[in-house]
Structure 1
Amino acid sequence: MKYLSIAQTAERWGISTRRIQILCGEGRVPGAIRIGSVWGIPEDAEKPADARIKNGKYIKKKIHNS
């Protein structure tokens, strides 16, 4: 199996390297392995769904003062 670096995966998935480190640390990237102080991500790994938005009410609404 071929593994990609965090930087390669970030470019491929279109997200930051820090976000991928967090996903790996949380165990949300299947097959990701820790090699010393870096992560190896399987070439065929799918980008996990974003679980940060729970209820869909993440858009800040403006309050109109009349």
Structure 2
Amino acid sequence: MNGYITVQEAAEKWGVTSRQVQILCKTNRIPGATRLSRIWIIPENAEKPTNEKRKVEFDNE
């Protein structure tokens, strides 16, 4: 399908496992990701979501 990539392609592109990409799709963290039957398709211009839980802000003032 033009304009979309597979979970495996996204995992390679973002440097994560395919399972992690599946979890991101399932939790609606990737805008435009759609499930077709048993596979996820992801827009090829989708950006890797940031992990907000791991972001720590320090106030050094």
TM-score, normalized by length of structure 2? 0.81
TM-score, normalized by length of structure 1? 0.76
> Which runs of 5 or more structure 2 residues have no equivalent in the other structure?
none
Q: Deviations over 1:21-52 (max 9, x none)?
A: 00000000000000101100000000000134
Partner in structure 2 of residue 15 of structure 1:
16
Q: Using the alignment, how far apart are the partners of 1:54 and 1:46 within structure 2?
A: 17
Q: Using the alignment, how far apart are the partners of 2:22 and 2:52 within structure 1?
A: 15
Q: Which has the higher helix share?
A: 2
Matched pairs, number: 56
Extract structure 1 runs of 4+ deviating beyond 2 A.
51-56
> What RMSD, in angstroms, separates the aligned Cα atoms of the two structures?
1.5
Shift of 1:53: 2.3
Larger Rg: 1
